[in-house]
């Protein structure tokens, strides 16, 4: 069986001539070889140095086919999507002919014309993976249009979360991020993790205000000197255009903020293992960020916002904390709560993480075989 995957995933060519792509997507595709004999990934190839978060494919049974790298918010960027559409369609049409199934990963700029193309002109069995916020209010026009197309066609659509009025062909589907070994290692870490005299926190993701980075820094800054003394450090894993601004305000906080930049998957997991709490007070339109499941697997109690499907997995006071509304003052209050937490309460929180099993590659592949086909 051969699968054709169509996406906007960023790929790069290393100095050694190796194709690497966005780590979480590449890892997912590597594990899909447990379902398919061959996989062709049609995605975008960019110039420049790859970030540390980019990984190579682990098998020659996976073939990367570059399509024009397009996207962006400017008017010219939108025109570029249209200008390159014929070449993109030609490549996709060619490789669909030799595939048994397809997976289209949405939302993406090219989805505005590729989703209708697949609906109207392809008879291949396939499914659409919608990785964004399925229930997003006031979504960008392009995203809203893609969601409308997907609701009004018959192929399976996998989405984040479970929603009122969800069409039958739209299946709630967790995005995988954990191997069987990760789960086993996580059980060991959780069983041995203890509160120290000083606590460590971490954030993993793009460094931007909408994700809550500024709120995190200012919430810690608002703590008293005595409260700050209970904190070892706060890790920021990731990067962004405003990183220098965040570093400047962090330097005045009285807290040890540790900006790590982009890290490899194993290095990120090491941060989770040494941290007690995971921070994501985001206002961004999320689906369900995989980093929450990863962090919980390694004994990080999530402190998160009530966005999209997050609170369908994180229950306030049971397996994490939900900051609602997401304000600096409210986040500071939650920080005060957790730095005074008792050992028994912390053990109960990190032990209530059974939901991470649903984010394993094995569970994901099982559902593809049994729920989609």
Q: Is the pLDDT of residue 183 over 90?
A: yes
Mean pLDDT of 283-297: 92
- Domains 2-173 and 180-357 equal at CATH topology level: yes
Q: Is the pLDDT of residue 240 over 90?
A: yes
Confidence of residue 35 (pLDDT cuts 50, 70, 90): very high
Q: Is the pLDDT of residue 67 over 80?
A: yes
pLDDT of residue 182: 98
Domain ranges of the chain: 2-173, 180-357
Q: Out of 83-97, 129-143, 161-175, 350-364, which region has the weakest mean confidence (pLDDT)?
A: 129-143
Q: Closest by alpha carbon to 175, among 112, 237, 105, 239?
A: 105
Cβ count within 10 A of residue 221: 16
pLDDT tens digits, one per residue of 119-159:
999 999 999 999 989 999 888 999 999 999 999 999 999 99
- What is the rounded CA–CA span in Å between residue 361 and residue 124? 24
- Domain 180-357: which topology? Rossmann fold (3.40.50)
- With contact defined as beta carbons under 8 Å apart, do 10 and 108 qualify? no
**Cα separation values, 24 from 21, 294, 361, Å:** 9, 11, 11
Confidence of residue 285 (pLDDT cuts 50, 70, 90): confident
Mean pLDDT of the chain: 96
- With contact defined as beta carbons under 8 Å apart, do 63 and 57 qualify? no
- What is the rounded CA–CA span in Å between residue 182 and residue 208? 28
Q: Is the pLDDT of residue 287 over 90?
A: no
Cβ count within 10 A of residue 146: 26
pLDDT of residue 109: 95
- What is the rounded CA–CA span in Å between residue 357 and residue 297? 9
Joined tokens for residue 6:
């169509």
pLDDT of residue 137: 87
Its pTM stands at: 0.94
Mean pLDDT of 290-317: 97
Please give the class, per CATH, of domain 2-173.
alpha beta
Q: Closest by alpha carbon to 71, among 25, 9, 147, 131?
A: 9
Q: Is the pLDDT of residue 286 over 80?
A: no
- The b-or-e profile of 231-257 (16+ CB within 10 A means b, else e) is bbebbbbbbbeebeebeeebeebebeb
Site of tokens 């969800």: 166
- The b-or-e profile of 5-28 (16+ CB within 10 A means b, else e) is bbbbbbbbbeeeeebbbbbbbbbb
Question: What are the strands, taking DSSP E only, across 28-91?
Answer: 38-45, 54-56, 62-67
pLDDT tens digits, one per residue of 87-103:
999 999 999 999 999 99
């Amino acid at each position: 069986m051969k699968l054709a995957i169509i996406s906007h995933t960023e790929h790069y060519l290393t100095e050694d001539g190796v194709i690497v792509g966005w780590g979480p997507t590449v890892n997912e595709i590597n594990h899909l070889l447990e379902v398919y004999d061959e996989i062709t990934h049609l995605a975008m190839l960019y110039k420049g140095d790859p970030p540390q978060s980019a990984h190579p494919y682990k098998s020659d049974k996976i073939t990367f086919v570059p399509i024009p790298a397009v996207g962006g918010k400017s008017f010219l960027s939108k025109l570029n999507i249209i200008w390159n559409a014929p070449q993109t369609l030609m490549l996709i049409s060619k490789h669909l002919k030799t595939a048994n199934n397809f997976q289209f990963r949405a939302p993406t700029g090219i989805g505005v014309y590729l989703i209708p193309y697949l609906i109207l002109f392809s008879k291949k069995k396939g499914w659409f993976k919608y990785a964004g916020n399925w229930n997003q209010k006031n979504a960008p026009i392009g995203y809203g249009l893609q969601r409308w197309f997907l609701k009004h066609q018959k192929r399976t659509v996998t989405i984040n979360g479970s929603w009122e009025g969800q069409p039958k062909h739209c299946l709630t589907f967790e995005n995988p991020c954990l191997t069987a070994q990760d789960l086993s290692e996580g059980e060991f870490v959780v069983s041995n993790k203890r509160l120290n005299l000083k606590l460590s926190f971490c954030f993993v993701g793009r460094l931007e205000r909408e994700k809550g980075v500024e709120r995190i820094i200012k919430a810690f800054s608002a703590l008293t000197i005595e409260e700050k003394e209970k904190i070892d450090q706060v890790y920021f894993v990731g990067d962004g255009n405003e990183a220098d601004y965040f570093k400047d305000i962090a330097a005045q906080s009285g807290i040890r903020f540790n900006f790590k930049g982009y890290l490899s998957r194993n290095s990120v997991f090491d941060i989770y293992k040494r941290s007690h709490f995971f921070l994501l007070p985001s206002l961004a339109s999320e689906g369900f960020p995989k980093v929450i499941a990863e962090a919980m697997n390694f004994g990080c109690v999530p402190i998160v916002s009530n966005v999209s499907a997050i609170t369908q997995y994180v229950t306030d006071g049971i397996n994490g904390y939900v900051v609602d509304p997401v304000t600096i003052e409210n986040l500071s209050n939650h920080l005060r709560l957790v730095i005074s937490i008792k050992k028994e309460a912390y053990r109960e929180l990190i032990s209530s993480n059974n939901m991470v099993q649903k984010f394993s590659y094995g569970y994901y592949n099982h559902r593809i075989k049994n729920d989609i086909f």
